[in-house]
């Protein structure tokens, strides 16, 4: 008589490798115990008249008695359309917030490069959504400056308008000083508090760009310290703030030390990631903002916020949303 184990093994032999992987993930998904209970409200109409409605791929399905639609725990969340179980998502979010590389996550979580890439970019998009919902406000004493990072066409051949040869990892720019090979990141650092980063173009920012970048992010009454770049004067129209050029100041108060340490952090991160593809630079800028101030302490809070976000991200979102056309 064939034992139950052998019967199961015989059945499993008929599956392809990919089918086995998804079967394994479904088993893991239903076995996991750390997934919080879903909230009882309907994902589509927010009604609370929701009933249990069987299972789909091992996941509990629900039905809304008001709008008649069905959904599962992952519907309208960052995990929608993903075969990865909850703990892999937790691991990927932790790795992203802790600044670990994609190859680190691939090995640690047993996922493919493409899966790690897609999950990473869904997480970056969710961080941008979280920031949009809670716009960052710089106040009190805030230092503003710019930093420059090398353009990067990681993973892609150079676009036709770039006439230089591709650079090797760690190679320097061809021209000395600030050239069009550099991307300018506008930075704001409130002392002992929030920081703000946004890539705008390839040169020192114009008044229009400064106004676009910081509008809505400078509180009234802020003392803004700069190195004297005139474009920042436009901020007096954006908020009721005072702008002070600290170049040549000898006192210990009037300096740009906070924004300079933010720039060192960005450059370290940039080096660690071996460049960030220029089209994704602003997605990573948002990550750097959170990483610089929260470092390790806020990871749990942020992880919970990402997992609770009420939005699904598609491959199309990853391809087109918030790209930097610099
Ligand atoms: Zn409903």
**pLDDT surpasses 60 at 251:** yes
Please tell me the distance between residue 55's alpha carbon and the centre of ligand 1 in angstroms.
18
Q: How confident is the model at residue 3 (pLDDT cuts 50, 70, 90)?
A: low
Q: Taking residues 6-19, what's their average pLDDT?
A: 77
Bridge partners of 189? 143, 195
- Residue 245: is its pLDDT beyond 60? yes
33 pLDDT more than 60: no
CA 76 to ligand 1 center in whole angstroms: 13
User: At 323, is the pLDDT very low, low, confident or very high (cuts 50, 70, 90)?
Assistant: confident
Q: Is the pLDDT of residue 155 over 90?
A: no
CA 33 to ligand 1 centroid distance, Å? 27
What's the pLDDT tens digit per position in 300-317?
Answer: 888 888 998 889 999 999
pLDDT in tens, 133-144: 988 899 999 999
Supply the pTM of this predicted model.
Answer: 0.79
What was the pLDDT predicted at 34?
Answer: 54
Q: Which of 170-174, 226-230, 317-321 has the lowest mean pLDDT?
A: 170-174
**Domain residue spans in the chain?**
37-75, 136-156+173-308
49: CA distance to ligand 1 center in Å?
A: 8
Per-residue pLDDT tens for 107-117?
A: 999 999 999 99
Tens-digit pLDDT profile for residues 55-97: 877 778 899 999 999 988 888 899 998 989 899 999 999 999 8
What is the pLDDT averaged over residues 179-185? 84
Q: How far does the centroid of ligand 1 lie from the alpha carbon of residue 72, in Å?
A: 13
Tell me how far the alpha carbon of residue 90 is from its chain's centroid: 14
Other beta carbons within 10 angstroms of residue 279's beta carbon come to 17
How far is ligand 1, taken at its centre, from the CA of residue 153, in Å?
44
Tokens of 115: 């899966």
What is residue 15's predicted lDDT score, i.e. its pLDDT? 77
Q: 191 or 179: whose pLDDT is higher?
A: 191
**How far is ligand 1, taken at its centre, from the CA of residue 26, in Å?**
26
Top-confidence residue, 176 or 87: 87
pLDDT digits (tens, 9 = 90+) for 203-215: 889 999 999 999 9
Distance between Cα 118 and ligand 1 center (Å): 29
Percent of the chain with pLDDT over 90: 44
Burial of 18 (0-12, 13-18, 19+ CB in 10 A): exposed
Whole-number Å distance, alpha carbon 29 to ligand 1 midpoint, is: 25
Distance between Cα 320 and ligand 1 center (Å): 30
Q: What are the CB-based long-range contacts (under 8 Å, 24+) for 52-57?
A: 57/26, 57/29
Instruction: Please tell me which residue, 266 or 154, carries the higher pLDDT value.
Output: 266
- Looking at the predicted structure, is the pLDDT value of residue 179 above 70? no
- Mean pLDDT of the residues in the chain: 84
Q: In angstroms, what is the span from residue 63 Cα to ligand 1's centroid?
A: 8
CA of 34 to the centre of ligand 1 (A): 26
Q: What is the rounded CA–CA span in Å between residue 200 and residue 197?
A: 10
CA of 307 to the centre of ligand 1 (A): 21
Tell how far the Cα of 41 is from the centroid of ligand 1, in angstroms.
Answer: 8
CA 39 to centroid of ligand 1, rounded, Å: 13
Please report the pLDDT score of residue 106 as a whole number: 95
Distance in Å, CA 69 to ligand 1 centroid: 6
Class assignment of domain 136-156+173-308?
alpha beta
Q: How confident is the model at residue 156 (pLDDT cuts 50, 70, 90)?
A: low
Higher pLDDT, 225 or 277: 225
* Ligand 1 centroid – CA 87 distance (Å): 28
Cβ–Cβ under 8 Å, residues 266 and 147: yes
Spell out the SS3 assignment of 126-167.
Answer: HHHHHHHHCCCCECCEEEEEEEEEECCCCCCCCCCCCCCCCC
pLDDT > 70: what percent of the chain? 84
- Expressed in angstroms and rounded, the spacing between residue 134 Cα and the centre of ligand 1 is 27
Q: What is the pLDDT of residue 25?
A: 66
Ligand 1 center–CA 143 separation, angstroms: 48
Give distance in angstroms: CA of 73 to centre of ligand 1. Answer: 14
Whole-number Å distance, alpha carbon 256 to ligand 1 midpoint, is 52
Task: Please say if the pLDDT value at position 295 is more than 70.
Answer: no
Residue 160 confidence (pLDDT) above 80: no
Question: 92 and 123 in contact (C-beta within 8 Å)?
Answer: yes
How far lies 65's CA from each of 43, 73, 74, in Å?
12, 17, 19
């Amino acid at each position: 008589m064939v034992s139950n184990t052998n019967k199961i093994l015989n059945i499993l032999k008929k599956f392809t490798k990919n089918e086995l992987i998804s079967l394994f993930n479904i088993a893991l998904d239903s076995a996991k115990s750390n997934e919080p209970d879903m909230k009882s409200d309907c994902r589509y109409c927010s009604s609370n008249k929701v009933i249990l409605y069987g299972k789909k791929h091992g996941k509990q399905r629900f039905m809304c008695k008001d709008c008649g639609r069905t959904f599962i725990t992952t519907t309208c969340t960052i995990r929608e359309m993903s075969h990865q179980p909850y703990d892999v998502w937790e691991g990927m979010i932790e790795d992203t917030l802790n600044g670990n590389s994609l190859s680190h996550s691939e090995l640690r979580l047993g996922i493919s490069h493409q899966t790690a890439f897609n999950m990473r970019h869904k997480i970056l998009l969710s961080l941008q959504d979280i920031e949009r919902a809670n716009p960052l406000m710089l106040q009190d004493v805030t230092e503003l400056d710019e930093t420059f990072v090398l353009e990067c066409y990681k993973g892609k051949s150079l676009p036709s308008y770039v006439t230089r040869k591709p650079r090797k990892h760690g190679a320097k720019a061809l021209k000395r000083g600030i050239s069009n090979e550099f991307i300018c990141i506008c930075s704001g650092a409130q002392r002992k508090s929030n920081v703000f980063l946004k890539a705008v173009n390839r040169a020192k920012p114009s008044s229009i760009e400064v106004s676009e970048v910081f509008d809505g992010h400078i509180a009234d009454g802020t003392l803004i310290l700069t190195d004297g770049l005139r474009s920042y004067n436009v901020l007096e129209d954006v908020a009721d703030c005072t702008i002070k050029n600290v170049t040549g100041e000898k006192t210990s108060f009037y300096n740009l030390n906070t924004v300079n340490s933010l720039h060192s952090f960005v450059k370290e991160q940039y080096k660690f990631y071996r460049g960030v593809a220029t089209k994704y630079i602003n997605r990573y800028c948002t990550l750097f903002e959170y990483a610089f101030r929260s470092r390790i302490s806020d990871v749990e809070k942020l992880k919970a916020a990402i997992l609770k976000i009420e939005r699904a991200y598609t491959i199309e979102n990853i391809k087109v949303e918030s790209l930097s056309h610099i």
